[in-house]
Every structure is written in C-alpha cells, then in structure tokens.
A and B are shown apart, each in its own frame.
Chain A
Amino acid sequence: MAGTITPITMPKFGLAMTEGKIASWNVEPGSSVDVGEELADIETTKITNGYESPASGILRRQVASEGETLAVGALIGVLADKDVSDADIDAFVEKFQNEFSSQAAETGASESAEPVVVEVGDLKLKVQDSGHGDDTPVLFIHGFGGDLTNWMFNQDHFSGSRRTVAFDLPGHGGSSKNVGDGKPATFAATTAALLDKLDIAKAHVVAHSLGGAIALELAKSHPEKVASLSLVAPAGLGKDINMDFINGFISADRRKTLEPVLHYLVHDKSLITRNMIEGIIRFKRLDGAVAGLETVAKACFPDGHQADDLHGALENFTGPKQVIWGENDEVLSAASAKGLPASVKITLLPETGHMPQMEKSADVNAAVTQLIA
C-alpha cells in the first residue's frame, strides 16, 4: 500500500462557524509540514485564525485557492508522502468531493445547536448552551460591546465532557437591550439568575474584560455558584481604561470609522475581518443597542476611569483563580496583572492584544483546562 493521504478540510473553529475563507496559504504546494505547523490562515465571521496541520507530510494539493469561501468540512488541501502518485491523489480528491457533496446535502438541516432564548425576569437572553457530561459546567461571560460569539474558539473546546454556556449580556448581541443601571453588580445578578434558570448550581467562570468585573461581582455575591475564576484581560483590577476605544465603539457607525477602533482589540490588526466589523455595525443598529452601551459606559467608566475596584473580590474568592492577559493589550493594560495575590495564577501572553481568547485561543484554552482539571 502506498503512503497515507490526509485530507485537509475547512476547520470548525467554533459552534457558530459554518464556513470559512482561505485568507492565505502559508505552505507552498510540494513543501513538507509538521504536525501543528500553520498551514493556512482562515477568515471566519470574527477574526482570522491560523489553521494548524493535523498531520505531517507534503502538501501535495491546494484544492481551495486563496480568497475562496468553503463550508466547514470541505476539502481545502491534500497531505501525503511523496511516494503517493498524482493519480492516486486525483482519485482521492474526486472521491472526497463526491462524498462530501452528498453528505452535505443529507446533514445540512441538522447543523450544530443554535442559540436559544432564555427568559430571566423580564429579560430575554440569547444563550448558547452546548455539551453535556458530569464535569462541572463552564460559563463564559463576554465584555463590553461583545457577544457570545467572542467565545467561538473556546466553548467547543470544553463541550466534550461537560455543559458549557455562553450568553449575550443584556444590551448585547441578541439579548434584550435593557441594561438596568449598567453596573457589573447588576449584570452579575442577572448572570446568577440565568444559572438558576438553567439549573446550574455551580460553574467554572471564564470571563473577558468587563465580563471579568461581572465575574468578580458574581464571586462576591454568589461564591457558592463559582467553581473557579479565569479572568481574561479583566476590568475591575485597575483604574485605567482606553476611552478612545469605549467612546469610539459607541459613536462609530460606519466601517471606516469603526475599523480603527476595533484595532485596539488585537495585536495583529489584520485579524479584524470585514464580517466582524459588519456584525458589530448591525448590532449597533438594533433599537436600544447604542443607548444600552452608553448606559454601561457611564456606569462603569465615569470620568474616563474604571469605577469599580474589585481586588477585594478576587482576594476573597477561595477557589482556583487565574488572570490571563495579553502583553500588548491596548484597552486594559496588562500592568494590572502585577501585584495580585500569590494565589492568583498569572499568564501573560506575548504579542497579544485585548482579546487573547480569540487571538491566542489555544493558550487560553490550555490555561483554563489546567485550572479546572
């Protein structure tokens, strides 16, 4: 038998991902690659992500060309040893394509779980509830202006052995636009009520940015519900906040003006895709969305500084806890990670901006896995 042929297919980086675009190939046809080497950059509805090779071998074919958009699972390339003949590869590609198109037609309807709407008091919250198993569930809380898809590279990672829940905070994404007083403590109360509604007694909490402050408030008010805290570039641990980002995010209503604002989020500016910008513009057009953001910004960052100091909540929380920060964060400075109690595990990621869970998803997933194991 000739050497094995490995199909390289469009990866599914997260639950919401149904298709991806080849932003660029990083390996020339005919070159050999090792497992884990980045084969290509894949553009998703959020940011562009590197695709690591699932096997070693020679990249014999680039079936998809740069700029092409393909469904998850579609063949984009072929990896094989040099002793595999071109004819065998042609036959493989043809067979794969035939099977994939018929398979796609069959399973098209039963795509991955869609988010559901959960009513909490008079709020309707959009919730992505997936995975099951006996391990303690993981709850993801996004930050200011974000939504549950901020966790598209993370949630799936933990869904194998446990329930995972990501949701749109009030005022965000597809949830009700009523943010109340807009304070982290208010969001924490809603989060606690959501956990009750979902029958989750206790969860590992993974929270980003303003979501970090909400998680700390949750740990303060409902410590029994929090199994561990993984805070990614959290608010509540420093005074400074990049108000150019906050104000720009609120006021920019066109792609041209919003794009430079979103550049504050990442170290590698090319990661911000057209789709991500369009998605945020569409969110901001919803009735009440901008008013909600304004209320949150006024409550959390009056006078251009963070209102809440939650060091106490972090210190008093007795469960496993960690802070993960990008060294090049331009929204909330990683300097706030200094001087935290020794019981807090600190991970600083080089060449990383304010959204490590997207920009360095593998590192964040590894750190969370380690803490909750």
Chain B
Amino acid sequence: MSKKSFRQAINEALRQEMQRDPRVILMGEDVAGGQGGSSGVKDAWGGVLGVTKGLFTEFGPDRVFDTPITEASYIGAAAGAAATGLRPVAELMFVDFIGSCLDQVMNQAAKFRYMFGGKATTPLVIRAMYGAGFNAAAQHSQALYPLFTHIPGLKVVIPSNPYEAKGLLIEAIRDNDPVIFLENKVMYDDEDEVPDEAYTIPFGEANLTREGDDVTIVAFGRMVNFANEAADRLEKDGISCTVIDPRTTSPLDTGTILDCVAETGRLVVVDESSPRCNLACDVAALVAEEAFDALKAPIRRVMPPHTPVPFATVLEKLYMPDSARIEAAVRSVMGYKAKQDA
C-alpha cells in the first residue's frame, strides 16, 4: 500500500487485469503512441496523458494497439471483439468524441444482451476523459455521463479518487456488460492510498464520504471532493452533512440516497454536467417522488449554466460548480422557512 496518483491507479488496474486475464486488450488513439517513429521509443505517449504508459512494452502489440483516428471503427471493433470473446478496454480519449461513434455504443454494444435474448455478453469497457477545468474548450470539456446513463444496457462509472478508480476499473473489466468509465482529466495527479493488490468495488453501491444529520449532499466524480471540502467547512459552523458518492450513475444506488434524505430531510445535488436532464434532475426527481414527506426544505441543485464550456479561464472557473457554491446551497436549505398559510 502506498500513495498513488489517479493516473497510476488506473495504469495498475489495467496492468493487473491484463496479467490475470489474457483476454483483456487495450485499443485507442495513442494508447501506446509513437510506434513506427524513428526514435526507437515504443510507447512515447502511453495515452494522451500518459495513463497507459508501459503497457505496450509489457504486453506487446497483440494486446495494446493504436488505432486510426476513427472512433466509429475502433469502438465498433471493440464491441465486436467483446461479443466474440475478448475483454477490450477501448480508450475514447475525450468523451466528447462519442458523437462520432454513438451508434456503436447505443445501438450495438448496449443492445446485444437484450436483443439476443441474453445469449450474448459484451464485456467492453470504454474509458474516456470528461470534465471542465482543463482549459480544453467546448469540444473537450463536457461531462456527458447523463447521455450514457440515459441508455439502458450501459453501466456508467465515475470514480472520485485514486482508490475508487482502481477498484471500480477492475470491477468494470470483470463485468460482462458494456461499461462507460469516466475519468476526470484534472484529477490524474490527485494522490491517495491505493493497495498494491487487485480489488474490486461493486457497482450500484454508493459510498458515504461524510456522515451528518442536517443535509444530504449527492455529488458525482470530482464534485465529491468539492462537497467534502464544503462539508468540512460547514461542520465547523455546526452544520453536519452526509456526502454521497454514488460511484455509478447506472446502476444508481437509490436506496442509500433515500435513506440518507430520510435522516437529514434536506438535499443538495452537485453535478458538473449541463443542467437540463442531468443526474441532478434525476436524483431530485427520485427524492421528490419517493421521499417527499421527509423533506424539510426544497431540493437544491448545484450545476453549471446551460451553455457550452467556455474556453476563457475566468469564464470556465465561473462555469464550474465549486465548494463555495455547494456551501452556499447547503446554507440556503438550512435557512429555509416554509411560508405561512395565507
């Protein structure tokens, strides 16, 4: 056990599963990188941010291969490879590129098990970076997990720290259904204690990173860390929060969310994806429908505005939810007073 970065945690999960199971292969744009060049370096890139570095040299060209810049073909190939016996981990680089290959994911991989009457399994993992805060502009900064969550047949994973990333990725690779595994691109250097051994974290089991009596905060991915920061500051002022990291948006651990809201009576949902039809809407609807009687205040959602992610640094900062906005939302639900009947 030692401190490892988010990047190392993912690399270690891939390496250990590739060692354990020869059917696990990697494919994507520059997952090795630099092949065919004159430098003699075999994996110059190891992925655009170095996440898969070293895997090409360890497992060779049969199991780690660079694809052309054509998402439709290699994501389709990965879905087919999964349906015929391999366990591919395909890297989509930026999740924004899903536009080029959505049919392969939505109409093919996600539907195989259902449409073949359970006779086909598709153990496919698609890894992709998501999220704003990297100054990567509107086409490389989206948090498109609501899109995947919307599609039955897909599992959607958003790890919130390096420990979670390793265990959830190993679970994803061992899962027999297509899994979309989303990595927040500004978290790769975050560090955490990560066991050296392989371990799995089950899907559909939320993690409570804080436990409190006053307000339940549900947050996704990187937002979990902001929610924790806000909760720690609020604690000093005597406001105690439960912070729920659902880990997976599909399946979603609705039971834990409802249990916690039943205890606190107040809900704040933090979601960095575009505000219409996102996970915050989903969770808010769930609680409004199933836990209405428990609510002592209106549900508050902390989200970006309905606009493309701005490129300008100051605007991008303004766009993103942060711990200050979460704190303000918690204070507002704590201060809520029901209007007296007229």
Contacts and interface: CB of A to CB of B under 8 A. Distances in A.
Interface string B167-202: 100000000000000000000000000011111111
B235 A174 contact: no
23 contacts: A65-B236, A67-B235, A67-B236, A174-B1, A174-B195, A174-B197, A177-B197, A253-B202, A254-B205, A255-B208, A274-B211, A282-B163, A282-B195, A282-B199, A285-B167, A285-B199, A285-B200, A286-B195, A286-B197, A286-B198, A286-B199, A287-B199, A287-B200
Contact of A287 (B197, B211, B235): B197
A253 B195 CA distance: 18
A353 to B, nearest CB: 23
Interface in A34-91: 65, 67
Nearest to A117: B196
Q: Is the interface of B mostly helix, strand, loop or mixed?
A: loop
Contacts of B202: 253
A152 to B, nearest CB: 15
B201 A285 contact: yes
A289 to B, nearest CB: 8
A65 B195 CA distance: 32
A94 to B, nearest CB: 22
Contacts of B196: 174
A67 B200 CA distance: 31
Nearest to B2: A114
A282 B201 CA distance: 9
Given A174-B195, A174-B196, A287-B198, 12 more contacts: A65-B236, A67-B235, A67-B236, A174-B1, A177-B197, A253-B202, A274-B211, A282-B163, A282-B199, A285-B200, A286-B199, A287-B199
A282 B235 CA distance: 26
B318 to A, nearest CB: 32
Interface residues of B, number: 16
Nearest to B240: A67
Query: Nearest 6 A-B pairs (CB), nearest first?
Result: A285-B199, A287-B198, A286-B199, A286-B197, A285-B200, A174-B1
Interface in A322-353: none
Interface string B144-175: 00000000000000000001000100000000
Interface string B235-254: 11000000000000000000
A177 B205 CA distance: 25
A287 B197 CA distance: 7
Nearest to A67: B235
Nearest to A115: B1
A126 to B, nearest CB: 9
Nearest to B163: A282
User: B1, B200, B201, B202 — which one has the most chain A CB atoms within 10 A of its CB?
Assistant: B1
Contacts of A67: 235-236
Contacts of B235: 67
A283 to B, nearest CB: 9
A119 B196 CA distance: 16
Interface string A157-176: 00000000000000000100
Interface string A270-293: 000010000000100111000000
B1 to A, nearest CB: 6
Interface in A214-263: 253-255
Contacts of B201: 285
A255 B211 CA distance: 11
Nearest to B211: A274
Contacts of B1: 174
Contacts of B236: 65, 67
Contacts of A255: 208
Which of A65, A274, A285 has the most CB atoms of chain B within a 10 A radius of its CB? A285
A370 B308 CA distance: 72
B18 to A, nearest CB: 15
A177 B197 CA distance: 10
B236 to A, nearest CB: 8
Nearest to A65: B236
Interface string B244-276: 000000000000000000000000000000000
Contacts of A282: 163, 195, 199
A174 B199 CA distance: 12
A162 B193 CA distance: 30
Nearest to B210: A274
B228 to A, nearest CB: 13
B21 to A, nearest CB: 12
Interface in B81-134: none
Interface string B303-316: 00000000000000
A309 B235 CA distance: 51
A301 B19 CA distance: 35
Contacts of A285: 167, 199-201
A110 to B, nearest CB: 16
Nearest to A114: B2
Interface in B52-107: none
A285 B197 CA distance: 10
Nearest to B1: A174
Contacts of B198: 286-287
A291 B201 CA distance: 16
A174 B196 CA distance: 9
Nearest to A254: B205
A177 B195 CA distance: 14
Contacts of B211: 274
Contacts of B167: 285
B263 to A, nearest CB: 12
Nearest to A253: B202
Nearest to B206: A254
B267 to A, nearest CB: 19
